[in-house]
Chains A and B, each alone.
Chain A
Amino acid sequence: MIEAINALLRSEFPDERITAQIDERNIVTLSGECSTWAVLIQIGHAVAKIPGVRNVVSDMTAKGVEIPKKDYTPVVEEGRRIGEVDSADVVIVGAGVSGCGIARELARYNLKIVVVEKGDDVASGASKANNGDIHPGHAVKPGTLKAKLNVRGNRMYTQWAKDLGFELQRCGSLKVVTSEKLVPEIEKMYAVAVINGVDGARLVRGDEIAQIEPRLGEEMEKAGVKPVLGLWLPSFGLVEPYDVVVALAENAAENGVHFRLNCTVGDVLTENGQVTGVVTNQGIIRAKYVINCAGVYADEISEMAGDRCYTIHPRKGTIAILDKSAPPLYNALAGFATGNEVVLKKNVESKGGGMCRTPEFNILLGPSATEVPDKEDVETTAEDLRYAMSRNSNPYVGTGDIIKIFAGSRPADFKEDFVIEMSDKTHGFINVGAIQSPGLASAPAVAEMACGILLGDLQEHDAFPSVNMNFNPIRKRRVEFRHMTNEQRDELIRRDPRYGRIICRCEQITEGEILDAIHSPIVPGSIDAIKRRTRAGMGRCQGGFCQPRVLEILARELGKDPTEITLKGEGSNVLLCESRSKVNEGGADK
């Protein structure tokens, strides 16, 4: 196989000096300097596509590009200084949708589970910065793990939403073409949907299109075009992604899972090829199993466990959210293509997202897809925003309606598929890595699969755990004042007057709802954590009005000084000091 790799490198990339090595597991390690970052990514992808290559590890560099490498020494030193603080059956690294989903699934058994998360809150990585689409599974390559888990995960969301009390809107997706020459594209998509087993996928024509989404007919008429063929995917759904993660985490916590926030893993401990624990900045946690759900850092955690078997190359996505006063035209994810659309330069592996809406009816554009060397790079740029805005097909809205631009990073590997497996180097270490799009839609199936691997291993060792008889799958949906009738609101305020005080006027979020969020199983310590749980600060003024009030409530309820309250975790304090205090030297005397 190494010959095939070298042949490819010589023929496709003759000017690049890259050397390849392959191990007994068919994991290829590439090294050398590439001319650009884009070429580095291309090489990784090309090699990963060679039949038989299990995955690609990159030691490659790119000319003039600094690839920041995280230094875990201080974390390890701190952890070793503190010493052993906890021991568990399972330590899950990362509290995103994968980690929290797995934790909640494993809580059905009598296992001691600890989730460690380096951020100040759950859902602080890719799980919070995506478009919330529950994809049907028509856009993934047949035969991949992604394809299997996407379709199954999508199906499982109905139960998740019901049990966990988060909003899931199965609005469906309707793609229509108005020109004969585009018919093959729709047919191709339909074929993939059929092969992948997407629920309810079907081709639609004429009147049926208008029945599904009447407004689409009107808009086509305005544009002077007629529908030729459409693909209807009724299983397409929408969620607020952080809602899902918070619900999973809360339910897991209620069922005995222990969460450690602001807890960074610096090393994975092993003995004789068996995982024994993790070293974190909060001390050493002993564990029989470690499940790696560390998102963009998953490759580094895997390396710590002595199993360097893939490389994550972060792919940044920028999203624009528009004001609710510029509402989406359609309930479904719907649109029509005339064939005259501007063709965008597409990223080979991920074209990025399009236009959709949030469950609260904000238009959402993007995410873009930009390969970046730095895992921490979630800066928005003009170019990425241009991409996001180019996805706008609603003629009535534009840049002036933007209320928020943000970016997240997809944890992509070079295979561009999920890596969910027990390490064959370190027993007890389970990788749940490279969970990029459609990771959110696949999450229930990812959780199921990861649990299956762990339970299967326990069974193999005659240690299958007993079932947790106290497991309660239900997590009650929180009060949402904004969605109530006036009579319901009145009753609610009578029960607790604090629901009668609106703190966030854009989204109509009450003090009572903020208090509910603060006094919940996973205590949100920052203003953004409150925002994700309640929507306070998510509206058009972006916290300009409510941030001081939320800060005050947080300080009061957590018994902290206002200067201790952060925007999004350690170091992001909103207020530096009290004015007139000694810290504030100088005053008027310049």
Chain B
Amino acid sequence: MSKAEYTCIVCPVSCRITVEETADGLKVSGNVCKRGERHAIAEHTEPVRMLTTTVVLHGANINRLPVISTAEVPKRLLNQCIGELYTVEVSAPVKCGDVIVKNICGTGVDVVAARSIG
């Protein structure tokens, strides 16, 4: 059965939490609180991350537009999402919140402009 260790990020204590896959399900140790346990289980089963990067921007005094996902996306899909965003080009004006890519990589999450330009 596999065993993995995670650094908890829910508070400054930064517990090193061990998640062990046992016959009775996941066994979590090393945490000092319930939130830590939930975090470790999430990290173990399907870790998620916010997606932030830029896309090529035309017609403005800067060349890149910052973008952000509207919710967290599975960590395993991050590279794929970033790869898709690196082919996107937009033109000013853009408003903060404008959808740049809808349902990116089938995650159900949109990627939106993170600032207004022009």
Residue numbers of A with Cβ under 8 A of B are: 579-580, 587-590
Determine the distance from Cα of A579 to Cα of B86 in the docked complex, in whole angstroms.
Answer: 9
Are B79 and A580 in contact, with the CB atoms below 8 A? no
Q: Could you give 14 example pairs across A and B, Cβ below 8 Å?
A: A579-B64, A580-B56, A580-B86, A587-B82, A587-B83, A587-B86, A588-B78, A588-B79, A588-B82, A588-B83, A588-B86, A589-B79, A589-B83, A590-B79
Contacts of B83 in A (CB 8 A): 587-589
Which residue of chain B lies nearest to A587 when distances are taken between CB atoms in the complex? Answer: B86
Contacts of A580 in B (CB 8 A): 56, 86
B residues 81-116 in Cβ contact with A at 8 Å: 82-83, 86
**What class of interface size applies to chain B in its complex with A?**
under 10
Determine the distance from Cα of A542 to Cα of B82 in the docked complex, in whole angstroms.
Answer: 34
Contacts of A588 in B (CB 8 A): 78-79, 82-83, 86
Contacts of A589 in B (CB 8 A): 79, 83
Among A580, A587, A590, the most chain B Cβ lie within 10 Å of the Cβ of A580
User: How near does chain B come to A463, taking the closest CB pair, in angstroms?
Assistant: 59
Known: A587-B82, A588-B79. 5 other contacts (CB 8 A): A579-B64, A580-B56, A580-B86, A588-B78, A589-B83
Which residue of chain A lies nearest to B56 when distances are taken between CB atoms in the complex? Answer: A580
Contacts of B86 in A (CB 8 A): 580, 587-588
Which residue of chain A lies nearest to B54 when distances are taken between CB atoms in the complex? Answer: A579
Contacts of A587 in B (CB 8 A): 82-83, 86
Determine the distance from Cα of A587 to Cα of B79 in the docked complex, in whole angstroms.
Answer: 9
Determine the distance from Cα of A587 to Cα of B82 in the docked complex, in whole angstroms.
Answer: 8
User: How near does chain B come to A552, taking the closest CB pair, in angstroms?
Assistant: 10
Contacts of A590 in B (CB 8 A): 79
**Sorted from nearest, which 5 A-B pairs have the closest CB atoms?**
A588-B82, A588-B79, A587-B86, A588-B83, A580-B86
Question: Interface code B63-77, partner A: CB below 8 Å = 1, 0 otherwise?
Answer: 010000000000000
Determine the distance from Cα of A580 to Cα of B84 in the docked complex, in whole angstroms.
Answer: 11
Determine the distance from Cα of A579 to Cα of B62 in the docked complex, in whole angstroms.
Answer: 13
Contacts of B82 in A (CB 8 A): 587-588
Determine the distance from Cα of A272 to Cα of B86 in the docked complex, in whole angstroms.
Answer: 66
User: How near does chain A come to B88, taking the closest CB pair, in angstroms?
Assistant: 10
User: How near does chain B come to A576, taking the closest CB pair, in angstroms?
Assistant: 15
Which residue of chain B lies nearest to A552 when distances are taken between CB atoms in the complex? Answer: B61
Determine the distance from Cα of A587 to Cα of B88 in the docked complex, in whole angstroms.
Answer: 14
Determine the distance from Cα of A579 to Cα of B78 in the docked complex, in whole angstroms.
Answer: 18
Which residue of chain B lies nearest to A562 when distances are taken between CB atoms in the complex? Answer: B63
Contacts of B79 in A (CB 8 A): 588-590
Determine the distance from Cα of A589 to Cα of B78 in the docked complex, in whole angstroms.
Answer: 10
Determine the distance from Cα of A589 to Cα of B83 in the docked complex, in whole angstroms.
Answer: 7
Determine the distance from Cα of A579 to Cα of B57 in the docked complex, in whole angstroms.
Answer: 12
Which residue of chain A lies nearest to B64 when distances are taken between CB atoms in the complex? Answer: A579
User: How near does chain B come to A439, taking the closest CB pair, in angstroms?
Assistant: 46
User: How near does chain A come to B64, taking the closest CB pair, in angstroms?
Assistant: 8
User: How near does chain B come to A344, taking the closest CB pair, in angstroms?
Assistant: 49
Determine the distance from Cα of A580 to Cα of B86 in the docked complex, in whole angstroms.
Answer: 6
Contacts of B64 in A (CB 8 A): 579
User: How near does chain A come to B94, taking the closest CB pair, in angstroms?
Assistant: 17
Contacts of B56 in A (CB 8 A): 580
Which residue of chain B lies nearest to A590 when distances are taken between CB atoms in the complex? Answer: B79
User: How near does chain B come to A431, taking the closest CB pair, in angstroms?
Assistant: 52
Determine the distance from Cα of A135 to Cα of B108 in the docked complex, in whole angstroms.
Answer: 74
B residues 30-84 in Cβ contact with A at 8 Å: 56, 64, 78-79, 82-83
Contacts of B78 in A (CB 8 A): 588
User: How near does chain A come to B56, taking the closest CB pair, in angstroms?
Assistant: 6
Which residue of chain B lies nearest to A588 when distances are taken between CB atoms in the complex? Answer: B82
Determine the distance from Cα of A590 to Cα of B78 in the docked complex, in whole angstroms.
Answer: 12
User: How near does chain B come to A538, taking the closest CB pair, in angstroms?
Assistant: 26
User: How near does chain B come to A42, taking the closest CB pair, in angstroms?
Assistant: 58
User: How near does chain A come to B84, taking the closest CB pair, in angstroms?
Assistant: 9
Determine the distance from Cα of A589 to Cα of B84 in the docked complex, in whole angstroms.
Answer: 11
Determine the distance from Cα of A580 to Cα of B85 in the docked complex, in whole angstroms.
Answer: 10
Determine the distance from Cα of A579 to Cα of B79 in the docked complex, in whole angstroms.
Answer: 16
Contacts of A579 in B (CB 8 A): 64
Determine the distance from Cα of A330 to Cα of B82 in the docked complex, in whole angstroms.
Answer: 58
User: How near does chain B come to A548, taking the closest CB pair, in angstroms?
Assistant: 11
Which residue of chain A lies nearest to B78 when distances are taken between CB atoms in the complex? Answer: A588
User: How near does chain B come to A127, taking the closest CB pair, in angstroms?
Assistant: 38
